Amino acid sequence: MRKRQVVVRREEPTRNTTNSSLTIRSVRYGECQKNHAASVGGYAVDGCREFMASGEEGTTAALTCAACGCHRNFHRREVETEVVCECSSPPSSNGA
């Protein structure tokens, strides 16, 4: 039985110096979109629903899907961006 592995690549956070915000981007790879019937003029995908790396991060095997054998570029790329603002709000004056 193979262990299921989800690949999430995290980019280094970038900091915006003008308003002190932090942007975090997470990348994951979804279903395979490789057209296996393109050579005969058709359209057929293999049904692989999620990219699972064949090897350790940093090796060439990490770019090959363990489930379908396709390169990571054939899988749909999903980028999740989170912006964290470290802004302080001015003190509220209630007027009472």
Q: Could you tell me the residue ranges of all domains in the chain?
A: 22-85
Look at residue 56 in the predicted model and tell me its pLDDT: 94
- Interval 18-30: pLDDT, tens: 556 788 889 999 9
Look at residue 82 in the predicted model and tell me its pLDDT: 85
- Interval 48-81: pLDDT, tens: 999 999 999 999 999 999 999 999 999 999 998 8
Q: Which of 24, 27, 1 is nearest to 13 (CA)?
A: 24
Mean pLDDT of the chain: 80
Note the pTM of the prediction, 2 decimals.
0.62
Kindly tell me the burial class for residue 82, based on how many C-beta atoms sit within 10 Å of its own C-beta (0-12, 13-18, 19 or more). exposed
Residue 94 has pLDDT above 80, yes or no: no
